[in-house]
Structures are given as C-alpha cells and as structure tokens.
C-alpha cells in the first residue's frame, strides 16, 4: 500500500509564525549589536554619553532620556538635548527607587503629547534602568514617554545597557580616579623633593630632629607605596575592562552574519569570519577591493543606489537582494546598511550586516509546494470519497436484500415454534434499526435453537430437529453476512478497530479449525495441520477472523479430499514473493490454507478479492455467500495486520491461500501504518 504524508495546515501556520518571531528577535539582536558598535567607536566621557543618548533615542523614541551619574562625590545629570547639570541631590522618586533597589522601575501614564496616542496604545511608558557593573552602581538611565508598542524591543536592551555601564565606568575611571591618583603621586613626589631640599638647607636642624624626620619619611614612603598600589589596581581594572571590550569585539568578529565596513567609494575596510563563510573570500584577499565584486551581473544599479543612499546618511533595513560568492554561486541575503560617522557627524563610510537567507527562501518555496500538494491531495481525497459513497450505496442495497431474506426467515421461525416470538421481535428490531447491537438477538436465536435441538428443554421430533438445524445454519450464515457488511463499512469509513496483544499462533489456528470441524466431518474431508507454537504480537481477533474465512471457503468449495493448514516463520520457510514487513527488523510469518476443491481459473484470480464478486463454479448454486468474505479478509490483512494475501490455483486441483503478516505490530496496528 502506498504511504502518504499529511502535514496539518495548523502546523504550517505555526511554523510560519515561529519563523517570523525568530526573524524579529534576530533583527532586535542585530540592532543591539549595532548600538554596541557605535558606543565602541567613541572615546571620552562626554562623547560616550552623547553617543549613547542619541542612539537610544533613534531606536526607542520617547520624550526625553536622562542619565544620572556620579564622579567621586559630585552628582551629574545629562539629557538627550545636550544639557549637563551638576546636582546637589537626586529628587526624582523613580530614579531614587531604582538607585535603592538596583532593579528597573517602569510605569504607565498619559502621553504629554496627545498626537502620539493611538486607538491601540492610549498610554505612554516610562522606564528607569540602573546601570550596574557587578555590584557597583555606575548611574541610572531614565527613558520618558516611550511608546508601549515598542515594549517587545525593550527585553533586548539590558545587554546594551550593561555594556554601556561598563564603558561609562572605564571612562569615569580614566578621567577621574586614575588622574587623581596620578596627581596625588606627583604631589607626594614634589613634597618629598621639597623636604629633601629643606633637609639639605637645614642640615643642622634635621640632625637634631633626625628621628622625627625618619619617621615622617617612612610615613611618606608608606603613603607613596599605597598610592602606587592604588594606581596599579586602577590599571588592572582598566586592563580588565579592555579585555571585556576585546571579548565583545571577538563576539562580533565570530558572528555568523557577514559584518563588513567600507568607505564611501565602496572599498572594503574590514571583513569578519561570517563574511568569509557566506561569500567564500578570505579577509586577506578581499580587503582593499571594491564591494562591487560581490554584485551579480545586472545588479550594478543597485550597488550605486546603495552608495548614494549612504552618502545621504540614509539607513537600509532588511533589504532582500542577491549576491555572488567567490565560486560564482548566487545566494539570497537580507542586507542592513548604516552610515559610519566621525565625532563631528561627517559620514566616513558604511557598515553592513548581511545574513544568508537562501535556505529560508528555499524553505518558503518548499512550503508553497507542500501547500499545492496538500490542495491536490484534498481534491483527490474528495473524489475518492465520492467513489466510496457510491460503494456504500451498493453495500446498502446489498443490506436491503439481506433484510428481505430476514423477512422470509422470520416467517419460517413463526411457523416453526411459537416460543421464538420474543426472538422474532428482536429480529424485527434489527431490521428496523440496522445497527451493530442487532447481532445480540441473532446470537440468541442461534443459542436457543441449539438448546431446543439438543433437547435441553424437552424432546423434539425429527422434523422439528431438522427445522431447528435449518434455523441455526441460517442464523449463523446471516450473522456472518451482517458481520462482513459491518466490517466492510467500518473499513471503508476508516473506523476499523485494532486491539494488539501477545498470543500463540498455534492456539489461534487450533481455535479456527474448531469453527469448521463439524462441516469437515459432515463432508467427510480430511484435515492436515502443519503448525507449531509461535508467539505473535498482533490483532488476534482480526487474524482469527481471516483464518476462519479462508477455512470456511476451503470447506465450502471442496467435495472430496483434504484441507491443509500450515504456518511457519521466515527462519523455517523462504518467501520468494518479494513482500517484506512494513517495519524494518520485524520477521514475517506465513500462514497457508490449501484445499483439493474445484479450483479457480487463473484469469479470475485478479477479481477474487473484489467486493460482491462470486466466480463461476460448479458449487456456486449450493455454496451460499455474498462475495464479501475474501474482500474483507484482504482489507483486514493489509490495513490492520500490515501484511498481504495471495492465491494460487488451478481448475480441478484446488487452491492455496497464503497470508503473510509481520511477527509484531505496534499499538496502532498495521505495522505502524494507518
């Protein structure tokens, strides 16, 4: 059976939404890395603060951004408009709270500018964030009147704030503590030189106070040593900060994205390992060349357009375009380009971040292809359902014929015995309801007729016994027909049940033989068994049903001779048909039912397993049936047991039906197939 793969539409939507979210998060991370690169490009405390303010405002917007920081005992504030003020104390309650708790503080409030209000976002958002390096509070950053719609971006800003805190600490240390320590050292050296000069000038006085002077020299020397130690500590701290900054640069260098810097003419200035991986050029062979080397033929206008946009100071965000690798392969990239400015704001060149999205584009095309295939499968399934409906209507017609047979049998039962009136009422309910529960009263009919025939309730004459045997045979035949029709309906509707369990194949075959033992005896047929104990894990009830169907057919179409049942595993019998179990590593089991009956013409074998087909045979008129038995057996073997069934036969010499099933199937049945 051909297997099909169905991808739920809901899962496709989920994958697309997940891809969009990951793309947004990656773009936010790229934005944070760009902010860090811009901060890294400046030096000096005031320039660092000004660069930080302007870039944060460009990214998150808002009414104002204020930085509170402290140098020694002096408190300062600086805002995004370039105002720097020395404060006697911090009076802003939100800033004091963040300073005390060392935790971010956020509040919602009305917009001061009502033009920023939208139906979706009617409130503004103020965020106060403490700038920490370890346990040291470097400053407090207050972002006022933010748009709450940008809140998804804010969760990515703490990494930038932490880097900013480290940079501010380095600049403060460089500009204040290091300078103070150095000045203090100079002052101590000058004082020491002065004392030495005074000592030379007043040698007599120093001689009188030698002991006191030596003590003072020792104290000064100790002070100088302590100052030197502080200086060494400050230098060590600065080296650590530089190492952290170098680590951050290494992270940028090791990015999977291509990060490239170029001048205004397009000459490449820097080239990271991500660019080497994406484009195939090493840094040594590409730096100094024009970026146009990556432009595919026919896209030269795009290259000059990007250079013109950079010269105008414009940013290019997530531009989807194509590039050419060193080996000539064309790839798709998502390109972000930003101008590089000097301290005066003049444009020096451009930095670009490119991500290889060739696989993403191919994935999108694959999703579209799968969608088209899904639509085609839905259309094919719809057509198949129409065909199944026609088959179901045929089955219903056959069922109506069975109902007519039931009416005739009901009249016979009323004439045979008045005690069966209750069972006749149940049979009438079966005709009216056409449900599965109608098998229960039919079983009662079979049971009570057996009780009467065996004279458990009193003696019966020969004619009555024959009538009761007729009732019992007809009931069993009718029950078999109903079971076949119901099972066929279940299979066609895809609702056939499977119950997997462990059992012994030997016990199952012995039980199946008991079902036809009386018919074998009545027809004088021999039974030959070639079976052994063999543990299986499969649907026992359905396998038993299939074997009984094959045995019943063998007895039904055999007048003389014998019926042979054999079973063996793959290790004791070779299967040359080419069939193999649907699950790798599972051994096949082969069950054969052979008879010496009338046989089948080889030309008719392909029609043998079709529904409602009864082949021409000398015994057709006396052998009852609807043509559903072998059709149902094949359906159960293939779709529930995960196997196959074949027939070999010749007219006049008998037939052999062979079941080939896997030794083990999983809980879903069919060896894992549905």
Q: What are the pLDDT digits (tens) for 203-254?
A: 666 556 566 656 766 777 787 778 778 877 877 777 776 777 667 666 666 6
Cβ pair 566, 530 in contact under 8 A: yes
Helix (H, G, I), strand (E, B) or coil at 283: helix
pLDDT tens for each residue of 400-432: 877 777 777 767 766 765 554 554 444 434 433
Biggest distance spanned by C-alpha atoms of the chain: 160
Higher pLDDT, 581 or 356: 356
- Give the percent of the chain with pLDDT over 90: 12
Query: Distance between CA 312 and CA 500 in Å, rounded?
Result: 74
What pLDDT score does 218 carry? 76
What values do phi and psi take at 61, rounded to 5?
70, -145
Token pair of 12, please?
A: 């496709």
Degrees, nearest 5: CA angle 300-306-311: 130
Give the H or E element holding residue 444: helix 439-453
181 or 297, which is more confident: 297
Alpha-helical regions (H) of 202-316: 203-208, 210-253, 273-279, 283-286, 300-311
Residue 663 has pLDDT above 90, yes or no: yes
- In the predicted structure, residue 83 carries a pLDDT above the cut 60: yes
Residue 212, token pair as written in the block = 């006191």
Lowest mean pLDDT among 53-62, 182-191, 302-311, 390-399: 182-191
How far apart are the C-alpha atoms of 203 and 215, rounded to whole Å? 16
Query: d(Cα 554, Cα 534) in Å, to the nearest integer?
Result: 24
Lookup: tokens for 144: 């006022």
Beta strands in 39-192 (DSSP E): 64-71, 74-79, 84-87, 105-109, 124-133, 136-147
Give percent above pLDDT 70 in the chain: 72
pLDDT score for 572: 43
pLDDT band at 192 (very low <50, low <70, confident <90, very high): low
Mean pLDDT of the chain: 77
Contacts of 100 (CB under 8 A, 6+ apart): none
Please tell me the distance from the alpha carbon of residue 415 to that of residue 196, in angstroms, as a whole number.
146
């Amino acid at each position: 059976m051909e297997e099909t793969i169905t991808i739920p539409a809901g899962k496709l939507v989920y994958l697309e939404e997940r891809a969009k979210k990951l793309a947004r998060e990656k773009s936010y991370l790229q934005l944070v890395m760009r902010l860090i690169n811009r901060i890294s490009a400046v030096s000096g405390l005031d320039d660092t603060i000004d660069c930080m303010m302007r870039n944060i405002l460009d990214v998150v917007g808002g009414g104002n951004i204020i930085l509170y920081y402290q140098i020694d005992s002096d408190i300062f504030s600086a805002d995004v408009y370039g105002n720097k003020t020395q404060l006697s104390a911090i009076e802003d309650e939100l800033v004091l709270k963040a300073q005390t708790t060392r935790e971010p503080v956020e509040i919602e409030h009305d917009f001061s500018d009502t033009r920023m209000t939208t139906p979706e976002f009617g409130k503004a958002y103020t965020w106060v964030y403490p700038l920490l390096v370890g346990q040291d509070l470097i400053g407090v950053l207050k972002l006022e009147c933010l748009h709450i719609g940008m809140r998804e971006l804010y969760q990515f800003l703490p990494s930038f704030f932490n880097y900013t805190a480290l940079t501010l600490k380095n600049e403060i240390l460089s500009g204040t503590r290091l300078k103070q320590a150095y000045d203090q050292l100079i002052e101590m050296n000058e004082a020491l030189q002065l004392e030495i000069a005074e000592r030379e000038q007043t040698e007599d006085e120093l001689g009188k106070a030698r002991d006191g002077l030596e003590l003072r020299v020792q104290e000064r020397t100790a002070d100088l040593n302590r100052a030197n130690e502080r200086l060494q500590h400050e230098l060590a701290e600065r080296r650590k900060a530089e190492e952290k900054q170098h680590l951050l640069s290494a992270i940028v260098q090791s990015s999977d994205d291509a990060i490239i810097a170029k001048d205004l003419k397009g000459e490449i200035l820097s080239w990271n390992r991500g660019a080497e991986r994406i484009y195939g050029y090493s840094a040594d062979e590409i730096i100094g060349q024009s970026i146009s080397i990556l432009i595919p033929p026919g896209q030269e206008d795009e290259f000059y357009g990007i250079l013109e946009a950079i010269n105008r100071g414009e940013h290019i965000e997530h531009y989807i375009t194509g590039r050419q690798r060193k080996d000539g392969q064309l790839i798709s990239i998502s390109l972000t380009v930003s101008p590089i400015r000097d301290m005066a704001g003049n444009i020096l060149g451009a930095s670009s971040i490119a991500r290889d999205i060739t696989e993403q584009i191919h994935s999108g095309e694959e999703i579209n292809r799968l969608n088209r295939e899904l639509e085609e499968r839905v259309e094919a399934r719809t057509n198949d359902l129409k065909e199944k409906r026609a088959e179901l209507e045929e089955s219903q017609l056959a069922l109506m014929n069975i109902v007519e047979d039931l009416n005739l049998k009901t009249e016979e039962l009323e004439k045979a015995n008045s005690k069966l009136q209750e069972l006749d009422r149940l049979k009438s309910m079966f005709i009216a309801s056409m449900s599965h529960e109608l098998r229960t009263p039919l079983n009662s009919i079979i049971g009570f007729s057996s009780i009467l025939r065996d004279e458990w309730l009193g003696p019966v004459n020969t004619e009555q016994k024959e009538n009761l045997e007729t009732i019992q045979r007809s009931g069993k035949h009718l029950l078999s027909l109903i079971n076949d029709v119901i099972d066929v309906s279940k299979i066609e509707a895809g609702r056939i049940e499977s119950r997997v369990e462990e059992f012994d194949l030997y016990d199952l075959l012995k039980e199946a033989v008991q079902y036809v033992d009386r018919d074998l005896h009545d027809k004088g047929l021999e039974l030959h068994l070639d079976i052994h104990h063999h543990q299986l894990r499969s649907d026992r009830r359905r396998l038993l049903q299939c074997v009984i169907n094959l045995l019943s057919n063998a007895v039904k179409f055999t007048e003389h001779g014998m019926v042979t049942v054999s079973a063996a595993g793959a290790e004791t019998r070779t299967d040359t048909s080419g069939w193999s179990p649907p699950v790798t590593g599972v051994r096949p089991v082969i069950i054969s039912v052979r008879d010496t009956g009338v046989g089948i013409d080889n030309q008719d074998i392909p029609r043998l397993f079709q529904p409602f087909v009864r082949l021409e045979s000398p015994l057709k008129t006396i052998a009852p049936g609807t043509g559903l038995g072998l059709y149902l057996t094949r359906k159960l073997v293939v779709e529930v047991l995960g196997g196959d069934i074949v027939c070999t036969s010749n007219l006049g010499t008998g037939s052999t039906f062979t079941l080939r099933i896997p030794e083990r199937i999983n809980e879903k049945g069919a060896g894992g197939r549905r």
